[in-house]
Amino acid sequence: MLFTVRKITKKLEKGDCYEGPIVGKLESCRMNSLIETLPVAASDTEVAGPGGISTSFGSAEVVRSALSIAPEVWRQTFAGEARDARYYEVIEATLPEKFDYRYLILRNAETGQTVVQPFFFIAQDLTDGLPKKIQQMVARVQRTFPRFMVMRVLMVGCAVGEGQVACSEPWAVQALHEALHVVARQSRASIIVFKDYPARHREALSLFSDDGYRRVPSMPAAKVDLDYKDFDDYMQRRLGKVFRKNLRRKFRASAEIGHPEMTVCEDVSDIIDQIYPLYKQTLARADFSFEELTPEFLARVGSEMPDKARFFVWRLDGNIIAFNFCLLHDGVLYDMDIGLDYSVALDLHLYFVTWRDVFTWAIQHGVRTYYTAPLNYDPKLHLRLDLAPLDLYVRHTSPLINPMFRMAMSFLQPVRHHPILREFPNAHEL
C-alpha cells in the first residue's frame, strides 16, 4: 500500500498516544533481498497480443505498459476514482524497479466494452504483519533457504495505494476471474491477491470469495466526517476530556518553540530537493514499508494531477520542516504520505500540529471526509476516527494446496495480531 503513514516512536501516558512515522506493511530491506532470489516475471511465458486469453464473454490480453493501451480506453479507467489512470502512469514511470507491472485488458465480444485491470508481481513474505517472534524464527530459516515462506504473488490492484475494481458489471468480474487463473498459471505465480480493496467492492468481488478465494481483512484505513465548524468544535464534540486536554498541552508546548507556517500547493517540483530528505527521514525510522517512493514520483504526481494533488508544506524560520501529500477527490481528502524533520518534529509535536492544520484547511474548503492510511492506530483511536475496512482476496493457484491455504489465512491475516483494532466502535465491520 502507499502510504507512508505515521509511526510509533514513544508511548505516552494518561490518554496520550504515539507520535512519529509508520510506513506500509513489508520490511523493505528484507523484502528487497528476497525479491532478488525469485525469478523475474516470465515475460516469455506470459500471454500477449489481442485475443491471447479466451473468456466466457470474449477475450483478454496482458500488456506491460499503460502506453500500450488505447488512450480512449485507458483514460476511462478509474475516471471516477481519486487514483485515476494518470496515477498508475506516474507509478509505472517513476517506480520502475520496485514492482513488475502489468495490465489485463478485458473485452466483451457482444457489447464491445473494454476495461483494464492493473496488476503486478512481487515476492511476498507470508509472515509480514505477524508478530516479531514468528518473523524472527522464519528469518533464521531463510538464511539457509531464502525462499522459505516467500512466494511469487500476482497482486491485483495498485502498487501504491488501495485497490480498485475496473468494472463491477457481472461480465467484467467473471471475465477477470477466468483470465487471472490463466495469467497466474502462465506466469508461474503461486498466489493471487486482491490487495487492499475497500469494503464497497465486496458485492462486486463476491464471485471471488464464493469461488476459491478467501476474503480476509487487511489492515484498515481510518476516516472521519468533517461536520464541524472548526477544529475546536471537533475537539469539544468528539474527543474525550483527557485527550482533549492533552492535545491542548501539546499545542501550547509547540507554540512556545515556534509557529510553523503552512502553505498548500499542487506541484512540489521546485522544492523536491527540500522535502524528499524529510520523506527519507520518515522512511528510515519505519519498521515496515511496502514501497519506497522516489523524488520523481512526488514531483510528477503533482504536475500530472494538479486537480487532485495537494501538498501541505510547513516552514519554520524559512526552513521546510514537514510536508503532507494528499489527494482531493469528490469531497474526500486522502492523506497519502508525510515527511518530518526529526531534529524538531518531537519537540514541536509535528504529528498533531500537521494533523490539526490539515483538518482545519479541509473544513474551510468544504471537504466532507478526511481519510487516512492504515497503521498507527493508537492516536487514531484517541482522535476518534472510524475504521475504513480494507480487504484481501487470496487464493493459491494449486487446486490441491488452496483448501489448506485458505484455512491458514485465518491465522496469517495481520488484523488478528493487532488487538487495538477491537477497541474501535466499528471494528465489527472488518
pLDDT of residue 32: 35
pLDDT of residue 126: 64
List Cβ neighbours of 42 (8 Å cut-off, separation of 6 or more).
186, 187, 188
Tell me: the pLDDT tens digits for 17-46?
Answer: 445 443 333 333 333 333 333 333 333 334
Any idea what DSSP says for residue 77?
Answer: T
Tell me: the pLDDT tens digits for 354-379?
Answer: 999 999 999 999 999 999 988 889 99
d(CA 88, CA 291): 14
Q: Are 293 and 90 in contact (CB under 8 A)?
A: no
Q: What is the mean pLDDT of each run of 10 residues along the chain (430 residues)?
A: 34 42 34 33 41 89 95 94 96 87 96 96 70 70 69 91 94 96 93 95 94 93 96 95 95 95 96 96 74 92 97 97 97 95 95 96 97 90 95 94 88 80 92
Cell 480494507 locates to 390
pLDDT of residue 287: 61
Residue 134: which of 414, 374, 421 has the closest Cα?
414
Dihedral of alpha carbons 196, 197, 202, 205, sign = negative
d(CA 353, CA 257): 13
d(CA 297, CA 87): 10
Q: Strand, helix or coil at 192?
A: strand
d(CA 275, CA 285): 16
Residue 286: which of 7, 2, 3, 1 has the closest Cα?
7
Side-chain-side CA neighbours of residue 186 (13 Å): 15
Residue 285: which of 363, 230, 340, 357 has the closest Cα?
340
What the block records as the C-alpha cell of 399 is 487446486
Instruction: List domains and CATH numbers for the chain.
Output: 4-24+222-387 (3.40.630.30), 28-220+389-429 (3.40.630.30)
- What is the widest separation between alpha-carbon atoms in the chain? 68
d(CA 336, CA 371): 9
Q: What is the CA radius of gyration of the chain?
A: 22
